[in-house]
Amino acid sequence: MTDTEPTTSAGAAGGNGHEPVTMEFLADWRNAAYNCFSSGHKFCREVCPVMQVTRNESWTPTAFHANVVAMEQGELTVEDVAEDYVNCTQCGACELRCPNTLFTGDFYRFRTRTVDLVKQMRALAVDNGVHQPGYRRWNELTDERTHEPVLGDVPVSQDRVRDWAEGLDIPIGGETILFVDCEAAFYRTSVPRAVAQLLQRAGYEFGLMREQWCCGGPAAEMGYRDQSRRFAEHNLADWRASGVKRVLVLDPHDYITFTEDYPAYFGDDYDIEIVLVVELLAQFLAEGRLTPTVPIERTITYHDPCRLNKRKGIWQEPRQILRAIPGLTFHDVDRVTQWSYCSGGGGGLPVEKPELTARISASRLDKAAELDVDTLVSACPWSERPLSEAGEARAIDVVDIHELLAESVGIEVGGSTGR
């Protein structure tokens, strides 16, 4: 065994050769798996960012469902297949493309749920003692530091999580708080600085969390659901203790965690309003609370973050912001919804397979280059590091949408872009 191979420490088996937790998983996913297996049209493959660059048939939504059928038939175990499920960014493109969602979903009230299947299979692996080495290390470090172990100028620790806000005079607590994801808080600090100063310029009152921990979403994405839940419980308790009613998020991953994972953990007791900053800023522009006046002479296209466009249907507001900025020449992508491209930066892929993330980012930049642009604008801090690295080779600058808007309203953002 090499140090890149998964390790196992499974306990006693239950019925049909599977652990009880596996039997429960198979009962949950049997119907969806047979639905895909019996259709088998594979339309999902061509929109999958992993498939686009690897052409590996074991790493497709079709295979992810077929494995469940094989497990149910006693042909495979979670140990056999766990490593394949690393190869997914949880972008959601396949779900939108699947004819079982597109053509029959309305009538039968069905949506293919590959993202959820991948998350649950990863969790099943962890529950069976099957670990991917990168995931395990990442989550151990996150647990130790209460934040993800991102690399950057600011050391990752609890007492440095608000360092990005230095000099901005933001209070702690209040009914509305700004939650800043780990990548932006410790690495690309220019993003939260831009957001905070835009909110201040619009006269919008907000504070910072008393004790912010990682949202817990990445742990859930990699299968460490107990850890995810502990982090969620900490954050919710912190919000409750300081009277928070509304949480602003700038990161699409946090948005998914707070609007999907937390409600699943806490049910009807979860009464926190979650506001995506991009939507709030588009509203401020429409209301005249922010007016971009500084021309920005760039030729741009926009990178739709998967978790906004494909998973949440949010694609209009970022475009409203970009069209409000004077000086920009905007070449929009010709394909939205299921065809928009992924950065490769999500779903834990860069943790376990950074080389695959780099190939997906390079492919995304190739698409941008076809539009003859000098700048790719993104609304997701986690995409910006791999996209920037791929952009350097093609002389395409990768810029965050919040920073671009801040520049156009005359704000000197400060902080680090990580470069």
Question: Which positions touch ligand SF4 (CB under 6 A)?
Answer: 36, 39-44, 47-50, 61-62, 65, 88-94, 98-100, 112, 114-115
Can you read off the two tokens belonging to residue 419? 């470069």
Output the smallest distance, CB 113 to ligand SF4, in A: 10
Helix ranges restricted to H, 40-132: 49-54, 61-72, 78-81, 93-97, 99-102, 105-108, 114-127
Can you read off the two tokens belonging to residue 238? 């912190």
Output the smallest distance, CB 171 to ligand SF4, in A: 39
Output the smallest distance, CB 109 to ligand SF4, in A: 16
Q: Which is nearer to ligand SF4, 42 or 246 (CB)?
A: 42
Output the smallest distance, CB 321 to ligand SF4, in A: 26
Q: Say how many CA atoms lie within 13 Å of 330 toward its Cβ.
A: 17
Q: Which is nearer to ligand SF4, 110 or 266 (CB)?
A: 110
Nearest to 381, CA basis, from 224, 191, 202, 203:
191
Q: Name the residue type at position 323.
A: R
Q: Which is nearer to ligand SF4, 212 or 343 (CB)?
A: 343
Count of CB atoms within 10 A of residue 105's CB? 16
Output the smallest distance, CB 262 to ligand SF4, in A: 21
In contact, 154 and 124? CB cutoff 8 Å: no
Output the smallest distance, CB 118 to ligand SF4, in A: 6
Q: Which is nearer to ligand SF4, 49 or 415 (CB)?
A: 49
Output the smallest distance, CB 128 to ligand SF4, in A: 21
Q: Name the residue type at position 308.
A: L
Output the smallest distance, CB 125 to ligand SF4, in A: 16
Q: Which is nearer to ligand SF4, 91 or 198 (CB)?
A: 91
Write a three-state SS string for 213-282. CCCCHHHHHHCCHHHHHHHHHHHHHHHHHCCCCEEEECCHHHHHHHHHHHHHHHHHHCCCEEEEHHHHHH
Q: Which is nearer to ligand SF4, 62 or 212 (CB)?
A: 62
Q: Which is nearer to ligand SF4, 58 or 176 (CB)?
A: 58
Q: Which is nearer to ligand SF4, 212 or 257 (CB)?
A: 257
Question: For residue 28, which phi and psi values (nearest 5 degrees)?
Answer: -65, -40
Nearest to 181, CA basis, from 218, 144, 132, 137:
218
Q: Name the residue type at position 118.
A: V
- Helix H or strand E segment including 195: helix 190-201
